[in-house]
Amino acid sequence: MLLVIGCSSDESAGSSEEGSTEQHVLKLGHVWPNSEIHAQAVEKFKEEVEALTEGKLKIDIYENGSLGNDNELLEGLQIGSADIWVGGAGVLSDSSTTAQIFTVPFMFDSQEHFETVYNGEVGQEISERIADESGNRILSYLTRGSRMLTVDREVNSPEDLSGLKIRVPDSPVFVRSWETLGAAPTPMAFGEVFTALQQGVIDGQENPLSLIYNSKFNEVVDYLIKTEHVREPISIVISDGTFQSLEAELQDALIQAANGEAKAFAAEEVLAGEEGYLTSLEEAGMTIIEPDLSLFQEKLDGFVENQFPEIIEVYEMILSTN
């Protein structure tokens, strides 16, 4: 965080605050191209923060991984190379056991269920546990849309995944869930995915439709499988140390902006755009497959209980919220 102090040239005395201004500059990093919905939401967050604080708090945005990949950005919150990170909440699982909950497959039965959880008391409880465990404060959860598989061959059942190298985020839940389904999960930084698909290093990847479309994955793989396996929120995250170093009015502005225009924009654009993305991808030559999701759900029956018992309490809180 950069603190800029400007002093008036007025020779008159006065209080120590009179005639001086302080501007805090926070570095915000994410990995998306500026065409992606959440990159645009970040711009709205910046604008609202700066308007609410009348310029006392400035947000400098570093897009497209220019400050590092998601894991590097999250680490940067603790060492000072970044102040705010915006990205898929599952990345927080590197520093928080509770954050493993974000990428549990087939946990939500609808978008309404997702929003009830993350905009309500359960979401607040999850955020507080993560802050205690990691020192990272979640300012808001943004809608992202369900994740779907893009791959170089037709997939209708878990058996069709056997041996396929699927890029996943570097998260234990992602890795083990795809292993359970029979694939060969391959953690990889997002910025490397397009080239890896193009060169045949991996067979597929999974992400929400907006990112699939804006990353032009249709140019390197032919099939989109509507698995809708994970509804992972986007999180706006600041280190608690940085947050506590700010005056109360600036803290309030960050929270208000994180839950203001940016949040509304992301929800509206994601939900309104999904059918449009599917149509555009199909028109671009992708084959859309709608598999029997019950086959995938059955394969993952007991997944949390058997492999991640440490998050079973939070998992049951989510299942009972509807």
Q: Express each pLDDT in 194-237 by its tens digit.
A: 999 999 999 999 999 988 998 999 999 999 999 999 999 999 99
> What is the count of structural domains for the chain?
2
Average pLDDT over residues 132-154: 96
Is the domain of 206 the same as that of 268? Answer: no
Residue 272 identity (one-letter amino acid): A
Ramachandran region, residue 68 (left: φ > 0; alpha: ψ -120 to 50; beta: rest)? left
Please tell me what DSSP assigns to residue 164: -
Is the domain of 22 the same as that of 37? Answer: yes
Is the domain of 101 the same as that of 180? Answer: no
What is the pTM for the complete model shown? 0.86
Is the domain of 217 the same as that of 116? Answer: no
Is the domain of 123 the same as that of 219? Answer: no
Is the domain of 214 the same as that of 296? Answer: yes
pLDDT digits (tens, 9 = 90+) for 84-122: 999 999 999 989 999 999 999 999 999 999 999 999 999
Which residue range forms the structural domain that includes residue 106? 2-10+17-143+233-272
Is the domain of 72 the same as that of 117? Answer: yes
Is the domain of 54 the same as that of 71? Answer: yes
Is the domain of 110 the same as that of 92? Answer: yes
Instruction: Report CA-CA distances (Å) from 157 to 237, 242, 292, 302.
Output: 36, 46, 7, 19
Q: What pLDDT score was predicted for residue 4?
A: 54
Is the domain of 21 the same as that of 164? Answer: no
Return the half-sphere exposure (C-beta side, CA atoms, 13 A cut-off) of residue 213: 20
Is the domain of 225 the same as that of 238? Answer: no
Is the domain of 59 the same as that of 131? Answer: yes
Asked which of 272, 287, 302 is the last residue of a domain, the reply is: 272
CATH of the domain at 213: 3.40.190.170
Q: Which residue spans within 106-163 are E strands per DSSP?
A: 136-142, 147-151
